[in-house]
């Protein structure tokens, strides 16, 4: 068996929902819950009027246009990671076809990844790795995008540990180099935990979820021959600072190892948290050789990936879409 190819992540970009709201704007949320979220570091969240594909279209375009012609031609598959499968744009051919046609991606086959919630990005990474290793793909385009249903206006992440935001993030997994070297991913789940009512027994849920996180992180570090002290930053989902600090401690990390700068800016954007946080962290002081842990935690599944910084802070030229308030220019 040939050795696994060395893989990289490149052309990372993202876009948040166009409407910014404060926690005070959330309807139907008890005052004590709202205060606890504030105390946990949350401040604002984002909402869009667009479909999930429309929200993702801008980042897809910026990612594809940031690639050189040869790498662009090497893309055979697009993985669309989203739990917003209820959105019409994902169960009809029109929206995705329009994006592929406008970008001249006529030979790119779109595939859907769902059911892993906030860990969909890790499932997508694992699939991209297998496609490149098994089928010889040069590059795989990954799109992470999620909306929160308008039918649930309180937007709470149960058991009241964050607030959902609308966002999209895109990047490419490739053999051909990039700002981040992607080592490997580990995925774990506890189906019995998915049967637990998080509102009725939040403490039991958090304790079992923490066990899952610790096990996933431990397996990931062991597989890479990495100790917790070798990790420069942990890039988690944007949950309450209290929850993140607690879980980090159980996994052997100090609170200052966590990247939580985006928590007050947009709260929790499901599986887009990790790529958005990685993109912003790259502009906030990473150094070549830093080792990072991308950590995703869903209702009953967990994912972790190790990435090494190859060249930090090298962004493609912005075309007016690089306003950090809502988006970032591609990092190549």
Residue 131 belongs to some domain of the structure: yes
Is residue 217 domain-shared with residue 296, that is, in the same domain? Answer: yes
Is residue 226 domain-shared with residue 156, that is, in the same domain? Answer: no
Is residue 147 domain-shared with residue 19, that is, in the same domain? Answer: yes
State how far the Cα of 330 lies from the Cα of 159, in Å rounded to an integer. Answer: 34
* CA quadruple 122, 177, 180, 83: dihedral sign: negative
Tens of pLDDT along 148-199?
Answer: 999 889 999 999 999 999 999 999 999 999 999 998 899 999 998 888 888 8
Is residue 156 domain-shared with residue 236, that is, in the same domain? Answer: no
Would you state the pLDDT for residue 2? 56
- Tokens 């039918």 correspond to 151
Would you state the pLDDT for residue 4? 73
State how far the Cα of 19 lies from the Cα of 17, in Å rounded to an integer. Answer: 6
Would you state the pLDDT for residue 208? 87
Is residue 34 domain-shared with residue 123, that is, in the same domain? Answer: yes
Residue 168 belongs to some domain of the structure: yes
Tens of pLDDT along 10-54?
Answer: 999 999 999 999 999 999 999 999 999 999 999 999 999 999 999
Residue 97 belongs to some domain of the structure: yes
User: 88 with 54: CB under 8 angstroms?
Assistant: no
The pTM is what? 0.95
DSSP-derived secondary structure for 132-143: HHHH--SEEEEE
From 151, 177, 203, the end of a domain falls on: 177
Residue 10's H or E segment, with its range, is strand 7-16
- Of 105, 102, 63, 86, which Cα lies nearest the Cα of 146? 86
Q: Is the pLDDT of residue 318 over 70?
A: no
Q: What percent of the chain has pLDDT over 70?
A: 97
Residue 323 belongs to some domain of the structure: no
State how far the Cα of 48 lies from the Cα of 320, in Å rounded to an integer. Answer: 19
In this predicted structure, which of 45-49, 108-112, 318-322 has the lowest mean pLDDT?
318-322
Across the chain, what does the average pLDDT equal?
93
- Domain range holding 90? 7-177
Is residue 197 domain-shared with residue 171, that is, in the same domain? Answer: no
Count of structural domains, the chain = 2
Is residue 112 domain-shared with residue 198, that is, in the same domain? Answer: no
Residue 299 belongs to some domain of the structure: yes
Would you state the pLDDT for residue 322? 63
From 156, 177, 198, the end of a domain falls on: 177
Is residue 191 domain-shared with residue 50, that is, in the same domain? Answer: no
User: 293 with 280: CB under 8 angstroms?
Assistant: no
Beta partners for 164? Answer: 268
Q: Is the pLDDT of residue 317 over 70?
A: no
Is residue 193 domain-shared with residue 165, that is, in the same domain? Answer: no
Is residue 217 domain-shared with residue 250, that is, in the same domain? Answer: yes
Burial group, residue 69, by CB count within 10 angstroms (0-12, 13-18, 19+): exposed
Is residue 211 domain-shared with residue 295, that is, in the same domain? Answer: yes
Residue 315 belongs to some domain of the structure: no
User: 18 with 29: CB under 8 angstroms?
Assistant: no
Q: Is the pLDDT of residue 305 over 60?
A: yes
Q: What is the CATH number of the domain that holds 281?
A: 3.40.47.10
């Amino acid at each position: 068996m040939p050795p696994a190819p060395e893989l990289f992540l490149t052309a990372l970009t993202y876009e948040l929902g166009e409407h910014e709201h404060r926690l005070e704007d959330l309807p139907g949320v008890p005052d004590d819950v709202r205060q606890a979220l504030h105390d946990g570091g949350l401040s604002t969240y984002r909402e869009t009027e667009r479909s999930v594909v429309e929200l993702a279209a801008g980042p897809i375009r910026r990612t594809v246009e940031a690639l050189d012609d040869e790498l662009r031609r090497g893309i055979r598959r697009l993985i669309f990671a989203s739990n917003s499968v209820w959105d019409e744009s994902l169960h009809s051919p029109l929206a995705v076809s329009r994006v592929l046609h406008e970008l001249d991606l006529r030979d790119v086959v779109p595939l859907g990844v769902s059911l892993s919630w906030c860990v969909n990005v890790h499932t997508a990474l694992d699939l991209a790795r297998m496609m490149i290793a098994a089928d010889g793909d040069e590059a795989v385009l990954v799109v992470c995008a999620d909306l929160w249903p308008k039918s649930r206006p309180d937007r709470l992440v149960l058991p009241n540990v964050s607030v959902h935001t609308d966002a999209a993030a895109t990047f490419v997994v490739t053999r051909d180099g990039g700002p981040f070297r992607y080592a490997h991913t580990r995925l774990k789940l506890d189906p019995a935990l998915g049967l637990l009512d998080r509102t009725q027994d939040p403490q039991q849920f958090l304790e079992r979820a923490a066990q899952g996180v610790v096990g996933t992180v431990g397996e990931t570090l062991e597989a890479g021959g990495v100790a917790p002290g070798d990790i420069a930053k942990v890039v988690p989902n944007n949950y309450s600072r209290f929850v993140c600090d607690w879980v980090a401690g159980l996994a052997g990390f100090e609170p200052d190892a966590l990247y939580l700068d985006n928590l007050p800016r947009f709260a929790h954007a499901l599986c887009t948290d990790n790529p958005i946080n990685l993109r912003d962290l790259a502009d906030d002081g990473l150094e070549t050789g830093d080792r990072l842990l991308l950590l995703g935690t869903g209702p009953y599944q967990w994912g972790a990936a190790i990435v090494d910084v190859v060249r930090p802070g090298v962004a493609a030229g912005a075309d007016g879409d690089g306003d950090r308030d809502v988006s970032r220019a591609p990092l190549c």
